Amino acid sequence: MKLHLVGCSHRSASLDMRERLVFTPDQTTAALAAFRATYPAVEAVLLSTCNRIELYIATQDAAGCPTHAELIRFLAAFHGLDDRDVSGHMYQLADIDAVRHLFLVAASLDSMVVGEPQILSQVKQAFAVALEQQVTGPVTHLAFEAANRVAKRVATETEISRRRVSIPSIAVGDFAKQLFETFHDKRALLLGAGEMGEETLRYLRDEGAQQIVVLTRQNERAEVLAQRLSAAADAWEHLDARLAWADLVISVTSSREPIVTAARFQSIHRQRSERVLFVLDLAVPRDFDPAIAQFGNVYLYSLDDLQLACERNRRAREQEWPKAQRIVEEEASRFAADIQHRVTGRTIQRLKHHADALQREELRRLFNKLGPLDARTREEIERSFERLVNKFLHPPLESLRDEASRGSPQRLLDALRHLFQIDD
C-alpha cells in the first residue's frame, strides 16, 4: 500500500507559478476524471487553493503506483505546461511523510498565516469532490478523516488558531470587534488599492459586512478593484462625503502626505453626528493625521498598533507550537498503526483460519481412529493441538508485526502468502 503527494505552495513556488497551476472547481472535477481514466486503480484527492496545489494519491499495489515524475507531468499537462518548467517548484512526499504533511495542512500549521481557519474547509471540500468523482478509497478515506481529527484537536487543545498573527485578521478580529457587535449593518470604506486593504475587506466580508465602497485617486482602478471585491466604487472627489458616511475606514494609499488632516476632519466630524468611526490606517507614511484620534468617538489605529498586537500573538503561538507538533506526531503514529493493521490483518486472519481448518481436520481423523474418549482426555488432546499450532504460528506472526511497526511489512506478507499458499 502506497501513499504519495506532489504539490507546490507559497513555500516552494512563486505566486506566478501557483496561478498557472491552480485549478478552478470545474477544472478539479475534469482533472480527477482524467486521472481516473489514466490510473483507474489509484485513489486521488486534488487540493487547490490560492496558496497551494497538491495531489494526494494512494494505491493498494505498489507496482501500479504512478511515480512522482508522472504525477507532476499529469498536473503540468492539464494546464498545457512543460513538466520541466514545473518540477523545480514542486515537493514530493511519500507514505507517512505525506500523511504528516496533510495533517499540518489541515490544521493550518503550514499556512501562510498559521491558524487561519479557511484551510480545513478547503481540505474537506477537496475530499468531497474526489468522493463525488469516485476516485477515493480506503487509504484516502482514512487519511482525510484523520486530518480532520488532527485539525479539530489542534483547534481545541492549543491556542494557535485563537491567536491571530496577520495584520488584516487582527484589525478585524481583535480591534474592530471590540467596537462593533455585528458588521451586517456597517458601512466600510477602502481608500487605496493595497493588497493588505483587500485582505482586510475580505475578513470584513466573512464577518458579514455588505456595504463596501472603494475610492482610489484613479477612478478606473477603483472600478476594477470594486468589481473584484463585489463592492461599489466612488470618485476620489467624494472622499469627505464618504468619510462622513462610513463606519469603518481602511486606508492603504501611497500618498507621501496625510490625505486627511485634523483641520480637514473637523467638518467631516460635524457631519457624523457623534457616530463611532473606526479607522485602520495601514499606509506608510500614514494617511490620517494622528491628531484625529483626539476627536470624540473616533478610534484610529496605525500599522504600528497592529504590528505590536501581531508580535504578541506570534510569541504566544510559538509557545503553543510544541503542543500542536505532538498532536500531529501522535495522530501520524495512530494512522500508521491503522494502515498496517489493515494491511497485515487480512493476511493474519487468513493464516489463522487456514491453521484452524487443518487443526480441525487432523483432530477429526485422530478421534475417529482412537474411538470413544472421556471428555477430559478429548479436551486435553484438543488443547495440545491448539498450543502446537499457536507456537508454530507465533514466530512468523511476531515477525510480521515487527515489520509492520517499522512500516515495511510487504515483503514478509508476500512471503507468508506464498509459503502457506494463502489466497488474499
Kindly report, residue by residue over 249-297, the tens digit of the pLDDT.
999 888 888 999 999 999 999 999 999 999 988 887 889 999 999 999 9
Same-domain pairing of 127 and 181: no
Average pLDDT over residues 140-144: 93
Active-site annotation holder among 8, 50, 65, 310 = 50
Same-domain pairing of 247 and 345: no
Same-domain pairing of 15 and 159: yes
Grid cell 485422530 in the structure block, residue: 366
Decide if 323 is inside a domain.
no
Same-domain pairing of 136 and 15: yes
User: pLDDT tier at 423 (50, 70, 90 boundaries)?
Assistant: low
What is the three-state SS of the chain? CEEEEEEEECCCCCHHHHHHHCCCHHHHHHHHHHHHHHCCCCEEEEEECCCEEEEEEEECCHHHCCCHHHHHHHHHHHCCCCHHHHHHHCEEEECHHHHHHHHHHHCCCCCCCCCCCHHHHHHHHHHHHHHHCCCCCHHHHHHHHHHHHHHHHHHHHCCHHHCCCCHHHHHHHHHHHHHCCCCCCCEEEEECCCHHHHHHHHHHHHCCCCEEEEECCCHHHHHHHHHHCCCEEECHHHHHHHHHHCCEEEECCCCCCCCECHHHHHHHHHHCCCCCEEEEECCCCCCECHHHHHCCCEEEEEHHHHHHHHHHHHHHHHHHHHHHHHHHHHHHHHHHHHHHHHHHHHHHHHHHHHHHHHHHHHHHHHHHHHCCCCHHHHHHHHHHHHHHHHHHHHHHHHHHHHHHHCCCCHHHHHHHHHHCCCCC
Average pLDDT over residues 34-63: 89
Query: Is the confidence at residue 406, as pLDDT, over 70?
Result: no
Same-domain pairing of 280 and 206: yes
Look at residues 131, 163, 195 and tell me which one is the last residue of a structural domain.
163
Same-domain pairing of 81 and 186: no
Look at residues 255, 282, 305 and tell me which one is the last residue of a structural domain.
305
Query: Is the confidence at residue 170, as pLDDT, over 80?
Result: no
Same-domain pairing of 148 and 186: no
Decide if 266 is inside a domain.
yes
Query: How many Å apart are CA 283 and CA 260, to the nearest integer?
Result: 12
Same-domain pairing of 198 and 268: yes
User: pLDDT tier at 408 (50, 70, 90 boundaries)?
Assistant: low
Strands 211-215 vs 232-234: parallel, antiparallel or unpaired: parallel
Query: Is the confidence at residue 424, as pLDDT, over 60?
Result: no
Query: Is the confidence at residue 35, as pLDDT, over 90?
Result: yes
Query: Is the confidence at residue 6, as pLDDT, over 90?
Result: yes
User: pLDDT tier at 341 (50, 70, 90 boundaries)?
Assistant: low
| Dihedral angle computed from the Cα positions of residues 392, 398, 403 and 409, in that order, rounded to the nearest 10 degrees | 50
The domain containing residue 393 runs over which residues?
339-419
pLDDT at position 256: 84
Decide if 50 is inside a domain.
yes
pLDDT at position 113: 67
Decide if 316 is inside a domain.
no
CATH number at residue 222: 3.40.50.720
Query: How many Å apart are CA 6 and CA 15, to the nearest integer?
Result: 18
The mean of the pLDDT values for the chain is 86
User: pLDDT tier at 234 (50, 70, 90 boundaries)?
Assistant: very high
Query: Is the confidence at residue 405, as pLDDT, over 70?
Result: no
Query: Is the confidence at residue 340, as pLDDT, over 80?
Result: no
Query: Picking from 212-226, 373-387, 396-410, which range would have the lowest pLDDT averaged per residue?
Result: 396-410
Q: How far, CA to CA in Å, does 380 sit from each of 19, 374, 376?
A: 74, 10, 6
Average pLDDT over residues 83-89: 90
Same-domain pairing of 133 and 155: yes
Decide if 13 is inside a domain.
yes
Look at residues 163, 189, 213 and tell me which one is the last residue of a structural domain.
163
Query: How many Å apart are CA 184 and CA 178, to the nearest integer?
Result: 15
Decide if 321 is inside a domain.
no
Decide if 334 is inside a domain.
no
pLDDT at position 51: 81
Q: How many domains does the chain have?
A: 3
Query: Is the confidence at residue 173, as pLDDT, over 60?
Result: yes
pLDDT at position 373: 87
Decide if 243 is inside a domain.
yes
pLDDT at position 104: 93
CATH number at residue 34: 3.30.460.30
Kindly report, residue by residue over 88-127, the tens digit of the pLDDT.
999 999 989 999 999 999 998 888 767 777 789 899 999 9
- Per cent of the chain over pLDDT 70 is 92
Query: Picking from 24-38, 41-55, 187-201, 335-349, which range would have the lowest pLDDT averaged per residue?
Result: 335-349
Average pLDDT over residues 203-232: 87
Query: How many Å apart are CA 75 and CA 13, to the nearest integer?
Result: 15
Q: Which set of grid coordinates corresponds to residue 86?
A: 514545473
Same-domain pairing of 368 and 272: no
pLDDT at position 62: 67
User: pLDDT tier at 49 (50, 70, 90 boundaries)?
Assistant: confident
pLDDT at position 284: 78
Same-domain pairing of 35 and 68: yes
Same-domain pairing of 20 and 149: yes
Average pLDDT over residues 328-332: 92
Query: Is the confidence at residue 165, as pLDDT, over 60?
Result: no
Task: Tell me the pTM.
Answer: 0.61
Helical pair 138-157 and 118-132, crossing angle rounded to 10 deg: 160
Instruction: Let me know if 50 is a catalytic residue.
Output: yes
Q: Are 407 and 344 in contact (CB under 8 A)?
A: no
Query: Is the confidence at residue 407, as pLDDT, over 70?
Result: no
Query: How many Å apart are CA 288 and CA 273, to the nearest integer?
Result: 20
